[in-house]
Every structure is written in structure tokens, then in C-alpha cells.
Chains A and B, each alone.
Chain A
Amino acid sequence: MTVQTERPPSGPSDVRKADGGGTGGTRARAASRAGALAPYLLLLPAAAATVLLLGWPLVKDGLLSFQNLNMAQLIQHVTEWTGFDNYKEVLTGEDFWRVTVRSIIFTAVNVVLTMVVGGLIGLLLARLGRVMRFVLMIGLVLAWAMPVVAATTVYQWLFAQRFGVVNWVLDKLGWHSMADFSWTGSQFSTFFVVTVLIVWMSVPFVAINLYAATTTIPDELYEAAALDGAGMWRSFTSVTLPFLRPFLYATTFLEVIWIFKAFVQVYTFNGGGPDRLTEILPVYAYIEGVGNQHYGMGAAIAVLTILILLGLTAYYLRIVLKQEEDEL
């Protein structure tokens, strides 16, 4: 539910560049030494908090991943360094690779579905009349606002084996074998429900953002396209799509991060079951580390998970960081 990220800061920095250079620069030069220290003092609490509360856990995670830390060591407070043993065990085992492949497929399917459905709804919003747009917006905002733990609980109820409304509808539609179907009983059906849940809760962010972006497309572009004889499809591919491309990239990037880390949905819905078949990387790290009390192993999986996430997002991350540097 952390939403609306990244975008706001990028706008004003352009503006600041235009008006800020002169006055800001001269003032900084004219300021006393205390004045020169001011920005660092103002940033000190934030920087200190980040180093202490984010940097330290990251370093600690790295350190733990080189330790043999199970129940016994945990209770006795002993530190046993084991070098790369944890990594060796994780990387040579089958489980890790199976979970990794599963996580990547899971992320890909969910992100693609979210982007396609969300994008289409965004375009639909642009085409609707005022009343219907408002109605659809209400639906989107409600789904968006629903807290994830509550949403997962509600989906458990919707897809409950007995008295669940989904099974009832499927039965009435003529698919009678579904009347008493257990959605948590198999890998595929569990992933199916989790995917429906994730797409349902992620679509509003994409749709509303893309709709907002379409409203910023100047009408002149469409008029020019129409003058040049472009039809509906042509003006869509040569005006709408190129204009929306940066928004599509940005939202896809965010969705990849959010969905890859979808611990709460997967863990709460079925605990990674049945038979640990629906564990994705964050759930796997938790169950190996905390559940089975192989804390060192769990830490190693966590480090590898972070590296994989960085790998998945590296391409876009580079663009963002470069843009940000150019703008400043």
C-alpha cells in the first residue's frame, strides 16, 4: 500500500533548476560557516535513522548469512562462523532454485495481468462519461484502500470450501464439481486465488495513474494526428502510447517490486502450502529461517532474494538514477 512513490519529486526539481540557481547559489556562498552546515544538520536525523535502522539490519543480514545459527546457537548466544556453508547449501539444494523460478514466474504473471488490466481500465476511464467515470473511480478507490490483511481474509471467505460464494456461483453456472472445491488444496488453485487477489488490489493504482497521465496529453496532438488522416488505432499507437510510455515503465517497475515481495498475501492465504508448494522467496526465507529455525540459512536466502530483486529491477533502476542525476 505504499503508493504514489517516485513521481512527485521529479517534477519540482525541473522548476527549481530554473529559478533556484541564482538566489540559492549566491546565498550559499554568502552564508556563514554555520549556514553551510545547516543542510547537513537538517538531514542528520534522517541519515542517522537510515544508517541505523536500515543499513545496520542489511549489514547484520549479511553477517548472519555466514554464521551457523540454529536453535541451539540462538539460545546459547554463540556465534559460529561457517564461511560460505549456508550459501553452498542453499545454492546446491533443489529447493532454492525451484522457489526462485516459481517466484519469477509468479511475479511475471501478476505484473503482466495487473498492467494489462490496469492499463485497459485506465483507458476506459478516459473514454467514459462523467457519471460512469465517477462510479468506476469509487470502485477502484475502495479496492485500493482495502488493507491487505483484511483483503486476504475476505478472499479466504469468498473462496471458502463450504458456503464460499465463488463455489456457489461456479456450481450454479453448471460447473458442479466446483461446489465443494477446496481452493487451498492444490498449488495451482492457491496461486490462482492469490493472483486474483493481487491483481484486484494492484489494478487501481495502475488504472488511476494511467488515467491521470492520459488527461495530460494535449488535445492538439490528437487534432494534428486526425488532420494527418490517422484513424483511432493509429492515433492510439502514435500519440497515446508514446506519451504514456514513461508512466508505464514507472508503474511496471513499482509493481515488480511490490509483487515480488508479496509476503502477506501468500503467507496469510495458505501459509505457503499445500506442502510448501506456493512458497515464494520472501515466504521461503521466513519459513526456513524463522519457522524451521535455521536463521543463518534464512539470512543467506534473504541476501540472495535481495540480489535477485536488484537484478530484476536493475534495468529500470539505472534509468531512474540516471534521470535523477541529470535533473539535479
Chain B
Amino acid sequence: MSGARFRRLAETGRPRVAITVDGAPVEAMQGDTLMTAILTARGRLRVSEFGDGPRAGFCLMGACQDCWVRLEDGRRLRACTTFAEAGMAILTGAEEGADAF
């Protein structure tokens, strides 16, 4: 998997929030959107259902809907407008089974 995509430029003194991405622990910060939390540690949010590769969001303002991520508990959240919360377990890989896409 590719490395981090987003780069933090400031505000790095915030309290940490522990989440997991594809099973691995990731340290996010309070006030991070899920998108920031994931993309400061990884290179993608999800994999296109059409086989055209990974996606990492586009508009960051809740318009394009290309950043919905899947949680292990079955929830689906729009990563650019949802704040990260401790304990969230995110899956970014291609999906199988009835709950895919």
C-alpha cells in the first residue's frame, strides 16, 4: 500500500485518537475528519467498484460522494464530513460479499 497522502502543516499538538485502518493501529488527532485521519496514514480511502483503481476523495465538501468509507461494524460514513472517533475501525480495501460497494 502507498504511503501517506495528506501532510499536516500545523495544529499537531492536539490530543490523539486511536483508530484502526485495515486492522492496523493509526494515531489520529481530535478534530480530524475521517478523511484526514486515514489519508495522513494511507494513500487511499477506498477502491473503485468498477475496477479502475483506488480513490481518495475529491471535493472535501460533501458534494462528490467519492469518499464514503466502510467500517468493520458495517457502517458507511462520508469521510470528508465525519469526525474521527476513538475506536473506529476502517476498511479501505476492495469488498466482497453482500455488503460490498
- State whether these chains interact: no
**Which B residues are closer than 8 A to A by beta carbons?**
none
**Which A residues are closer than 8 A to B by beta carbons?**
none
